[in-house]
């Protein structure tokens, strides 16, 4: 079945394109979610108007995205998480965590726009991409710091304890 996309669909096409998809995919997913419409002769006539409007809208969205990218570029995020001895986190830092931290800094970013193939699971500094527009991707720095666990803190205190507090051995009594 041929459909006209009303919005960008990952791995399928961009807004305004005519694409051929499986009938079930069109009937059960694209059409009910209003992501596409059937490519009839009448609708194909409307396509040219949609493409012109989409081009204007895309240009405006790109401008807004570039302005937002300029504001987001200097941001550095920092997360403190519990980790093992080799720097592997017990949990992870997800796109949702990053979106929440960005929101705390005053920017509303949908977590789906954060390009993170898998959650971050190691201590250290990483750059993460945020796809604001199909042509605008901004890179921000994310630093993950190991949280001092109770065992690590106790071990650090034991090594820092002065020698004067060590128990003194008693001298044998003279007879």
The pLDDT score that the predictor gives to residue 172 is 56
Cβ contact 79:94 at 8 Å: no
Which tokens belong to 122? 């190691």
The pLDDT score that the predictor gives to residue 163 is 47
**Positive or negative: CA dihedral 94, 35, 12, 29:** positive
Domains defined along the chain, listed by start = 2-63 (3.40.5.10), 73-150 (3.10.430.100)
The pLDDT score that the predictor gives to residue 164 is 46
The pLDDT score that the predictor gives to residue 22 is 94
Nearest-angstrom CA–CA distance, 21 and 36: 11
The pLDDT score that the predictor gives to residue 160 is 53
Nearest-angstrom CA–CA distance, 80 and 34: 42
Q: pLDDT tens for residues 90-99?
A: 888 999 999 9
The pLDDT score that the predictor gives to residue 143 is 93
Statement: the pTM of the whole predicted model exceeds 0.75 = no
CA dist 135 to 59, 95, 144, 147, 155, Å? Answer: 10, 20, 28, 37, 51
The pLDDT score that the predictor gives to residue 27 is 94
Low-confidence ranges of the chain (pLDDT < 50): 153, 155-156, 161-166, 175
């Amino acid at each position: 079945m041929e459909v006209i996309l009303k919005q960008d669909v990952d791995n399928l096409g961009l807004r305004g394109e005519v694409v051929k998809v499986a009938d079930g995919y069109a009937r059960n997913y694209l059409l009910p979610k209003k992501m596409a419409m059937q490519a009839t002769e009448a609708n194909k006539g409307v396509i040219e108007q949609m493409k012109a409007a989409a081009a204007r809208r895309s240009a405006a969205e790109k401008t807004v995205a570039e302005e937002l990218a300029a504001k987001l570029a200097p941001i550095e995020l920092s997360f403190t998480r519990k980790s093992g001895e080799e720097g592997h986190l017990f949990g992870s830092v997800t796109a949702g965590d990053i979106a929440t931290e960005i929101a705390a800094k005053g920017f509303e970013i949908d977590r789906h726009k954060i390009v993170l193939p898998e959650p971050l699971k190691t201590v250290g500094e990483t750059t993460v991409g945020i796809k604001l527009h199909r042509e605008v991707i901004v890179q921000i720095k994310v630093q993950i710091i190991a949280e001092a666990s109770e065992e690590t803190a106790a071990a650090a205190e034991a090594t820092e304890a002065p020698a004067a507090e060590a128990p003194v051995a008693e001298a044998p009594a003279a007879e």
